[in-house]
């Protein structure tokens, strides 16, 4: 049995864990990272990156199909086809480049990587069934970063035709038909991609609208696009199990007879839960927040020198939040006085069109006791959007009525994910309407709609 002593032990090599490890290494801390699967975690291997690759390929294919059928700007394309095996190979190539890049960065910063499943024996000791034999790692500080996994439904356990996002990202071919249970961002991102690749997609959502965690105004352009793509959306509907033959999903909708929905694959995307299987949490005395590990504003758990970051600690389960927490914890361990006091954690939904939100929605701002003004600028009046044939959508700004402090910014439209940086920066720097109004925004760009939404609240909009 090998024994390793270190200053910092990190369990889990996803965005939370690997960023904590890189930062700890940069700060000269003797660091060990334990990972049971691929470096990069959910995000690089079966989440953010492969899903965005698939979404991009599907978008390119649907553009080609559109040119072949209606040639809106005169491109001549004849009957495009897709070699899906090659698409998956391309996607896997990107994943490979990024995960090996993470390995190289960890090495450069002298982080020791132990491959294998880690089990906590106590708050300072972890046992790993490593490829090279059992290892016991003792450290002064432990960072738990084991992430999350897809939630399954009791009536629809994963297996056979019932798949999670992980399997959906590595299908050998485009299914002829796909039923997606759950119209949150993961279900809709993947459902839209497969619809563009030619699958007949049906979405089943228990709430009365898609993207129930977003405000209704932001979901409308996405609902319109799903309809244009021929995606059937059943809201107020529940998948209650499989038919006896296993090839149909039983779907119950108020006021309607139970429907047998046949499909080649049933993608269950109803949420994610903390990944703590076999971690030995029962041996630690950690306060919990429901199923998640409870942390304070320093990502400190209820045990001294045991830290937790990322999805394991709850919503918002986003890679960039995990990374920011990971970097912060490494700095705290190195002696810095830091707290996680971000004004906003932008969130992007890579649907068609995309949605980006940062800070508060108008309703949340009002609930928080603010009197607010909102300004909305539609992409129909934005030159760049017209040149992209992407008019559906808008930028919306929410600001305090008294001092014009911007509280929230949201956008829905093609390519708006790239506006997340501007929105996050404005909120983090405490921008007021006049700050954005006084900033020159390059023309012609989608960002001009952000400028105009601010101007609109001030009664100074120029292009509407």
Which ranges in 31-112 belong to alpha helices (H)? 41-46, 48-70, 84-108
Residue 16 found at the interface with ligand FAD (CB under 6 A): yes
Q: Does 43 bind ligand FAD (CB under 6 A)?
A: yes
CB of 215 to ligand FAD, least distance (A): 20
Which segment (33-41, 77-85, 258-266, 290-298) binds ligand FAD by CB under 6 A? 33-41
Sequence-ordered list of residues with C-beta below 8 angstroms from that of 51, at least 6 positions apart, any chain: 165, 169, 186, 189, 190, 193, 350
Q: Which entry of 373, 443, 451, 463 is annotated as an active-site residue?
A: 443
Of residues 321 and 370, the one with the C-beta less far from ligand FAD: 321
Residue 37 beta carbon to ligand FAD: minimum distance, rounded to whole angstroms: 4
Q: How far is the CB of 270 from ligand FAD (least distance, A)?
A: 12
Site string for ligand FAD, 86-125 (x = CB under 6 A): -------------------------------xx-------
| Of 319 and 426, CB closest to ligand FAD | 319
Closer residue to ligand FAD in complex, CB, 325/382: 325
Structure tokens at 11: 């369990």
Can you tell me which of 146, 301, 351, 361 binds ligand FAD, judged by CB under 6 A?
146
Residue with tokens 């898609």: 210
Q: Pick from 10, 23, 47, 333: which binds ligand FAD (CB under 6 A)?
A: 47
Q: Per the omega criterion (within 30 degrees of 0), is the bond before 444 cis?
A: yes
157, burial (CB in 10 Å: exposed 0-12, middle 13-18, buried 19+)? exposed
**Catalytic annotation present for 141:** no
With 0-12 CB in 10 A as exposed, 13-18 as middle and 19+ as buried, what is 434? exposed
CB of 284 to ligand FAD, least distance (A): 13
Is 182 a binding residue for ligand FAD by CB under 6 A? The answer is no
Q: How far is the CB of 351 from ligand FAD (least distance, A)?
A: 11
Could you tell me how many residues make up the chain?
A: 464
Binding mask 325-354 for ligand FAD (x = CB under 6 A): -------------------------x----
The pairing of beta strand 177-181 with beta strand 125-130: unpaired
Residue with smaller CB distance to ligand FAD, 13 or 375: 13
CA–CA distance, 310 with 346 (Å, rounded to integer): 15
Residue span 188-217 as binding mask against ligand FAD, x where in contact by CB under 6 A, dash where not: ------------------------------
CA-nearest of 24, 37, 91, 2 to 307 is: 24
Smallest distance from the beta carbon of 83 to ligand FAD, in angstroms? 23
Query: Is residue 319 near ligand FAD by the rule CB under 6 A?
Result: yes
Q: At 192, is the secondary structure helix, strand, or coil?
A: helix
Q: Which CB atom, from 156 or from 318, has the smaller least distance to ligand FAD?
A: 318
Cβ of residue 249: shortest distance to ligand FAD, in angstroms? 20
Segment interacting with ligand FAD (CB under 6 A) among 68-76, 92-100, 176-184, 309-317: 309-317
Give the contacts of 369 (CB within 8 A, at least 6 positions apart).
none
Instruction: Classify residue 235 as exposed, middle or buried by CB count within 10 Å of its CB (0-12, 13-18, 19+).
Output: middle
Which residues partner with 3 through β-bridges? 136
Instruction: Choose which of 10, 21, 35, 234 interacts with ligand FAD (CB under 6 A).
Output: 35
Task: Yes or no: say if 172 and 271 are a contact pair by the CB < 8 Å rule.
Answer: no
Beta strands in 206-279 (DSSP E): 232-235, 237-242, 248-253, 259-262, 265-268, 272-274
Range in contact with ligand FAD (rule: CB under 6 A) among 30-38, 254-262, 282-290, 386-394? 30-38
Binding segment for ligand FAD (CB under 6 A), chosen from 62-70, 208-216, 319-327, 335-343, is 319-327
Residue that has been written with the tokens 């921008």 in this structure: 431
Distance CA 454, CA 452 (A): 5
Q: How far is CA 198 from CA 171, 377, 389, in A?
A: 14, 33, 22
Binding-site member from 41, 182, 274, 314 for ligand FAD (CB under 6 A): 41
**C-alpha distance from residue 188 to each of 129, 268, 307, 389 (Å):** 38, 11, 33, 22
| Binders in 354-383 for ligand FAD, by CB under 6 A | none
Give contact residues for ligand FAD (rule: CB under 6 A).
11-17, 34-37, 41-43, 47-48, 51, 117-118, 145-148, 165, 186, 275, 278-279, 310-312, 317-320, 322, 350
Give the residue numbers marked as catalytic.
443
């Amino acid at each position: 049995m090998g024994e390793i002593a270190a200053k910092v032990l990190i369990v889990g090599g996803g965005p939370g864990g690997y960023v904590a490890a890189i930062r700890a290494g940069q700060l000269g801390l003797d660091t060990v990272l334990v990972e049971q699967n691929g470096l990069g975690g959910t995000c690089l291997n079966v989440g953010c990156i492969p899903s965005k690759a698939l979404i991009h390929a599907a978008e390119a294919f649907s553009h080609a199909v559109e040119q072949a059928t209606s040639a809106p700007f005169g491109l001549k394309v004849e009957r495009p086809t897709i070699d899906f095996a090659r698409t998956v190979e391309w996607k896997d190539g990107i994943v490979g480049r990024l995960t090996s890049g993470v390995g190289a960065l960890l090495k450069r910063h002298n982080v020791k990587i132990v491959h294998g499943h880690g089990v906590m024996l106590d708050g300072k000791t972890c046992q790993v069934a490593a490829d090279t034999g059992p290892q016991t790692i003792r450290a002064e500080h432990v960072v738990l970063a084991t992430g999350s996994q897809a939630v399954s439904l009791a009536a629809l356990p994963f297996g056979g035709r019932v798949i999670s996002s992980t399997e959906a990202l590595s299908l050998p071919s485009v299914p002829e038909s796909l039923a997606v249970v759950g119209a949150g961002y993961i279900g809709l991102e993947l459902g839209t991609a497969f619809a563009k690749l030619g699958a007949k997609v049906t979405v089943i959502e228990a709430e009365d609208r898609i993207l129930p965690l977003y405000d209704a105004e932001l979901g409308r352009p996405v609902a319109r696009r799903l309809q244009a793509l021929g995606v059937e959306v059943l809201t107020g509907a529940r998948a209650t199990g499989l038919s006896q033959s296993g090839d149909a999903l039983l779907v119950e909708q108020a006021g309607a007879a139970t429907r047998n929905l046949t499909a080649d694959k049933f993608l269950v995307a109803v949420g994610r839960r903390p990944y703590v299987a076999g971690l030995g949490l029962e041996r630690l005395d950690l306060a919990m927040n429901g199923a998640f590990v409870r942390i304070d504003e320093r990502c400190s758990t209820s045990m001294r020198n045991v830290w937790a970051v990322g999805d394991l600690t709850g919503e918002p389960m986003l890679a960039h939040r995990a990374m920011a927490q990971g970097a912060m914890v490494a700095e705290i361990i190195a002696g810095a006085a830091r707290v996680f006091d971000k004004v906003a954690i932008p969130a992007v939904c890579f649907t068609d069109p995309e949605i980006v939100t940062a800070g508060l929605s108008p309703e949340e701002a009002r609930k928080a006791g603010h009197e607010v003004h909102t300004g909305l600028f539609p992409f129909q009046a934005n030159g760049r959007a017209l040149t992209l044939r992407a008019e559906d959508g808008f930028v919306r700004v929410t600001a305090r009525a008294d001092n014009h402090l911007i509280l929230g910014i949201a956008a829905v439209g093609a390519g708006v994910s790239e506006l997340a940086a501007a929105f996050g920066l404005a909120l983090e720097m405490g921008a007021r309407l006049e700050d954005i109004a006084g900033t020159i925004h390059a023309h012609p760009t989608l960002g001009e709609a952000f400028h105009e939404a601010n101007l609109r609240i001030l009664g100074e909009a120029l292009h509407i």
